[in-house]
Each structure stands twice: as structure tokens, then as C-alpha cells.
């Protein structure tokens, strides 16, 4: 099995991905700015320690994100050092619909995709829909408001465990460029998700549907954040909520 470095290995999708890779028999290093068990120290933004962390690595699973334009700088440093160290495969997690939804964070993700496509390091790009965790937090963050406000668009939320499974499959294969996007098993309106969250969290707040303007909302109403055809994921949003709040 290959030697794999995972960036963002202590994050929401990173933890299940590291676990899945190790169960599959891979030797896995987790890149972190801080020392700890099963970690190698390195900083994607400054480049400190990055070369040593990549020494002897065959595959990089790049999951780290700061949520802003710094992601582009981090990816540039990673690609330069990966080429220097002879990395044979970089796998990047991206988001469905980033070319159609004008969020600054999505534009940064798209820039990173372009960097990968221009790099001599062989790559695979996997786009996924929003994670269950994100959709839950949208409602949970409203706990101090008198009502639960829900916009008039939907999503196709996917479990991070399902994403980890797909990333592990890709790590066992050859670089494939942009592979098929993956999404969860259901396409739900925000109101449907809010009702499921309300039941699971035992909330008594009233759900209020709101209509928002703008290009971002228009793209979401047009389902640019969803995957045509059947979903890849197996865990539904209600199943995730039941497990989270149990």
C-alpha cells in the first residue's frame, strides 16, 4: 500500500478519511502545524516543514481549508513541494457547483482546481455536495433567534463518512483528473431539512420561510449545488441527525 499524507486530517472530513485509509491498509501521515500522535509537523502557508512531511510520500489527500483566498497560496506551496519530492498523485476535495455559485470561498476552490490542472503533478479532483454537518449548523446557529429562518432553496447533503469512502477508493487508484461529482441520497428543500432538524433537536421554534435576492440564491434555487441523477451517499440527513442528537 502507498504512503499517504493527509492535509486537514484533523477536520470534519479529515478524521473519517484518515480512519478509512488506515482501515484499507495504507500508511497515513497527518499534516499539522502542531505536534501530536500520528502527526507530522508542517505549515502549508509558510512552507515550514512541508518538504520533510512529503518525503517518501506517494499520494497526498488535500483536505485542508482556511475558508478563504489563503487556500490558493497553500495549494501553490503544496504543489511546488510535491513536484520537488516526486509525489505521484494529489487528490483534492472540492465542492459541487463552484463555477456557478459566486461565493468567494467557492471561487478560491475553483482557483485551486485550475492550479492542479496546470501542475505536472498527477491529480484527481472530487467534488461533493454540502456535508450534513454544515446543514445542521445552519439551523443550530439560530438558537438565539425567535424563529428558525429558512431560505427557499435546497441541498443534497452528504455524510462525511460517505465522502471518506470515496476518497479512499480514489487513493487506491490512478490519477483520474476530474471524477464524477458525488452527492447525498436525497435532494431536500431547506424547509424539509429544518423540520427534520427541529424534530431531532427537540426545538419548539416556529419555522419561517424567507425569500432572499441575489445571484448566489438564484444559483441555489436552480440546483447548481446538486448532482444530476442518483446520489452516491447512503446516509440520509434524518439518519445523521438521529445519530448526532442521540
Per-residue pLDDT of the chain (246 residues; tens, 9 = 90+): 679 999 999 999 999 999 999 999 999 999 998 877 889 999 999 999 999 999 999 999 999 998 777 999 999 999 999 999 999 999 999 999 999 999 999 999 999 999 999 999 999 999 999 999 999 999 999 888 889 999 889 999 999 999 999 999 999 999 999 999 999 999 999 999 999 999 999 999 999 998 888 999 899 999 999 999 888 999 999 999 999 998
Cα distance between residue 144 and residue 137, in whole Å? 13
Longest dimension (CA), the chain: 57
Which pLDDT score is estimated for 1? 64
Three cell numbers written together for 139:
439551523
Q: Residues with Cβ < 8 Å from 129, sequence gap 6 or more?
A: 95, 96, 155, 156, 157, 158, 181, 182, 183, 184, 225, 226, 227
Place of cell 500500500: 1
Tell me which of 3.40.50.720, 3.90.1150.10, 3.90.550.10, 3.90.220.20 is the CATH number of domain 3-244: 3.40.50.720
Beta bridge partners of 210: 151
User: Could you tell me the pTM of the whole model?
Assistant: 0.94
Contact indicator for 148, 27 with CB cutoff of 8 Å = no
Contact indicator for 3, 59 with CB cutoff of 8 Å = yes
Contact indicator for 86, 113 with CB cutoff of 8 Å = no
Three cell numbers written together for 223:
440546483
Helices within 68-103 (DSSP H only): 70-84
Cα distance between residue 52 and residue 57, in whole Å? 10
Amino acid at each position: 500500500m502507498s504512503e499517504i499524507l493527509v492535509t486537514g486530517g484533523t477536520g470534519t472530513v479529515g478524521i473519517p478519511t484518515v480512519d478509512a485509509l488506515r482501515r484499507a491498509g495504507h500508511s497515513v501521515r497527518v499534516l499539522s502545524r502542531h505536534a501530536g500522535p500520528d502527526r507530522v509537523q508542517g505549515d502549508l502557508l509558510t512552507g515550514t516543514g512541508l518538504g520533510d512531511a512529503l518525503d517518501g510520500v506517494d499520494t497526498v489527500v488535500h483536505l485542508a481549508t482556511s475558508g478563504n483566498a489563503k487556500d490558493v497560496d497553500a495549494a501553490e506551496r503544496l504543489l511546488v513541494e510535491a513536484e520537488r519530492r516526486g509525489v505521484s498523485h494529489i487528490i483534492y476535495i472540492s465542492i459541487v457547483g463552484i463555477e456557478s455559485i459566486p461565493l468567494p470561498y467557492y471561487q478560491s476552490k475553483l482557483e485551486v482546481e485550475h492550479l492542479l490542472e496546470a501542475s505536472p503533478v498527477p491529480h484527481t479532483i472530487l467534488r461533493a455536495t454540502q456535508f450534513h454537518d454544515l446543514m445542521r449548523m445552519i439551523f443550530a446557529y439560530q438558537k438565539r433567534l425567535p424563529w428558525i429562518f429558512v431560505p427557499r432553496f435546497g441541498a443534497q447533503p452528504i455524510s462525511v463518512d460517505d465522502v471518506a469512502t470515496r476518497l479512499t477508493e480514489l487513493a487506491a487508484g490512478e490519477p483520474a483528473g476530474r471524477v464524477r461529482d458525488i452527492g447525498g441520497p436525497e435532494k431536500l428543500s431547506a424547509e424539509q431539512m429544518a423540520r427534520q432538524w427541529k424534530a431531532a433537536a427537540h426545538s419548539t421554534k416556529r419555522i419561517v420561510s424567507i425569500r432572499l435576492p441575489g445571484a448566489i440564491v438564484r444559483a441555489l434555487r436552480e440546483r447548481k449545488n446538486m448532482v444530476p441523477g442518483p446520489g452516491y451517499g447512503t446516509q440520509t440527513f434524518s439518519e445523521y441527525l438521529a445519530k448526532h442528537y442521540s
